[in-house]
A = this chain, B = another copy of it.
Amino acid sequence: MSAHPTTSSGYWYAADGERPPALQVLEALRAYRTAESAMRLRTRESMGMGEKDVLALRYLLEADRAGTPLSPRDLASKLGISSASTTTLLDRLSRSGHVARRPHPTDRRALVIVATEEADCEVRSTLGAMHERMMRAARELSAEEAATVTAFLHAMAEAVEAADEPQLEERVEDCRQAAPDHGAA
């Protein structure tokens, strides 16, 4: 950062005490992220489940609606957990009555997981009002504003996705040389 005094930090945008708009945007993005993860925690607690369980339920309901039901295998890969964990996750959700295991119509090894009506109600009633509020806010944007916001969010997703970085060790080494004093070690 300190090597780029003309670009990102180190000066004031002073007259009216405001920070540069780009910073405000990123700050707002972070605020949203924080609010969102707090909401996730509330949801998690309100339904008495772990985070993966809630996420799994979301995927299942989505797939149900789209008419393309999921197998345990699909779920495992979407959630990024192992097949073993998926089994126990399904045990949990099944015991709590949120999902049911159905035989796959053609493959007798496989299963199809469906969310129960109760789970659908629970999720809808927990998240529905929030979705409504978000939709209302989104609809208040003009077409041009919506395009701006959409483009920005896509740019952010792209910025976050790029992953062609050197190995950790090298990067840390570079940094150590660049900043030889910090007073912490």
Contact = CB atoms under 8 A, between A and B. Distances in A.
Interface string A114-136: 11111011101110011011111
Contact of A138 (B22, B34, B117, B132): B22
A26 B21 CA distance: 22
A184 B120 contact: yes
A153 interface: yes
Contact of A126 (B34, B46, B126, B168): B168
A164 B100 CA distance: 31
A126 B179 CA distance: 15
Contacts of A148: 141, 145, 148-149
A135 B21 contact: no
A100 B183 CA distance: 12
Interface centre among A25, A116, A135 (most CB of B within 10 A): A25
Contacts of A8: 132, 135
A135 B23 CA distance: 8
Contact of A184 (B41, B100, B175, B185): B100
Interface residues of A, number: 80
B176 A134 contact: no
Interface string A137-155: 1111101011111101111
A160 B7 CA distance: 33
A35 interface: yes
A184 B134 contact: no
Nearest to A180: B117
A42 B157 CA distance: 15
Interface string A9-27: 0000000000011111110
Contact of A121 (B21, B117, B140, B172): B172
